[in-house]
Amino acid sequence: MKKLILILCMLLAVSTPEASVVNNSTVSPGSEDSLSLTFFSFDSLGNPTTADSIYVLVIGPEGSVVFKDSMTISDSRITSTTIRSKQFYSFSEQVSNIDGSGNYGMYSLALMAKKNTGGLLTPYNFKFQIISTKLSEQIALIGDSVFVKGGIVDTNKTDPGLNDSTSIANWVWNTPQSSHSTAGTFGKYLDTEISGIGGGSGAYSISMVAYDTGNSQTVAGASVVVRNINQSSLIAVGRTNSKGEIGFNLDADSFIVITTAPGYIFDSNDTVFITGTGIDTVLGYAFDIDPPASSDVCRVWGYLYNFQGHPQSGATVAAFLPGGIVKYNEIIISPFAIATVTNSFGQFYLDLIPSEKLDPSDSKYEISIGLSDGTILRQRLLVPDQPLWRLTW
C-alpha cells in the first residue's frame, strides 16, 4: 500500500510546460542557445525536499535518443537554492551539448530527480524547439519598422527615400517592363543605367527652385523627382540645397516634376517644358497643424505620400498599447486601438497621452499605417510630453 502512495505522488509531480524556442549556436549558457529548467524533488507527502542526483533523457524530432546522462546534485549544470526552507533546483545546459546532430524541430526532455532515502523519484517532461536563427537576430534584421507591403513611402522622414540609391535600384529593378530594353549594369529591362540616375544625363543644364508661396522664401532640403510625361520612367532625382536650388541635366522634352518636403504641400504633377538651358520654379506652401485643445495629450501627426509623390488619402493610421492596460493618474487606460484616416493632403494626427505620464512610464505605443489591402508599416514608439510631435521613423 505504501508503494502505491509513492507512485501516485510521482504522477502528480509530472509537468509539461510550454515549449521553449532555442537554437544550437555554440555560445555559453544564459542566451537563446541554452535551456534553464526548474524542477523539484518531492517527498512521499508531496513537499519539496533535497535531491541526491538527476537523470536527463532527450528525444529528437525523429523519435530517437539524442542525449542521456546522470549527475549528482553538485554538478556544475545544477543550481540549488532554498526559499523559506523549501528546496528549488534548476538545470542549465547549452543546447548544442544535448541535441545530438542539432536538427531543427521539436525535442522532448525528460528529467527525473532522485532522493536516495526512500528511493523517491520525481519525474518532469519538457519540450524545446530548435530554430535556424536566433530570435534576437531576426528582430535586429527587421528593426523597429516593419514594411509588410510595398507601394507606399512615408515622407515624414527628412529623407523620404526617393533619392536613396538603394531605394532607386529596388524601385527600377522590381518593375521590369518588356518595353524597357536597356541592358544595364543589373541586367535588361531598365530605362537607364542605375549609375545614370541622379542629376540626369540630358543636354541642357536646368536649375529648379523650391519656393514657399506663403512665406515668400525658398525651401531647403526638398526632394525633387523628375519623371517622363506619362510617369513610366525615372529621369532624375535630387534634393534642394540651402538656397532651395537644385540642378539637373535634361533633354528637350516635357517632364513631370514631383516635389515633397516635410510640412509642405507642393503642386501635384507639376509639368515643365524643356527647350534649352534655363530655370524653373516649383511652388508650395507650409501646412501647419493646430495643437490639441487639452494640455494632457500630445498631438502626433504626419504625412503620407505614394511613390508618385502624391498625397496618399484614405490610409488608416492606428495606435494602441501593446503592453496591455496601463494607468494615467490612477485611471485605467484601455489598450484597444484608436485610429484615424489620412485626408486629401495625406495628413493625419492622433491625440495620445505622453508615454512618461503613463504608469509604467516606458509604455510604448504601437503605431501602424495601412490600406484596405494590407499593412504598410508598423513601429513601437515613445510619445514625448509636448503639445505637437511630428511622427518620424
Whether 293 is covered by a domain: the verdict is: no
Same domain, 132 and 28: yes
Same domain, 20 and 85: yes
Whether 243 is covered by a domain: the verdict is: yes
Same domain, 273 and 163: yes
pLDDT for 19 equals: 53
Same domain, 212 and 88: no
pLDDT digits (tens, 9 = 90+) for 26-49: 544 445 678 888 898 988 888 888
Domain residue limits at 313:
298-390
Whether 143 is covered by a domain: the verdict is: no
Same domain, 8 and 130: yes
Same domain, 119 and 189: no
pLDDT for 76 equals: 92
Weakly modelled stretches of the chain, pLDDT under 70? 1-20, 23-32, 132-198, 307-310, 372-375, 392-393
- Phi then psi for residue 201, to 5 deg, are -130, 25
pLDDT for 72 equals: 94
Whether 145 is covered by a domain: the verdict is: no
pLDDT for 230 equals: 83
* Tally of domains within the chain: 3
Q: How far is residue 8 from each of residues 51, 117, 124, measured CA to CA in Å?
A: 19, 18, 14
Whether 76 is covered by a domain: the verdict is: yes
pLDDT digits (tens, 9 = 90+) for 339-389: 999 887 788 999 999 999 988 888 889 888 887 666 577 888 899 999 988
Same domain, 126 and 17: yes
Whether 144 is covered by a domain: the verdict is: no
pLDDT for 158 equals: 37
Q: What SS3 state is found at 320?
A: strand
pLDDT for 171 equals: 39
Of 121, 125, 109, the closest CA to residue 65 belongs to 109
Residues in the chain: 393
Chosen domain end from 286, 320, 340: 286
pLDDT for 375 equals: 59
Quick check: pTM over 0.75? no
Whether 151 is covered by a domain: the verdict is: no
- Phi then psi for residue 147, to 5 deg, are -90, 110
Give the bridge partners for 274, in sequence order: 253
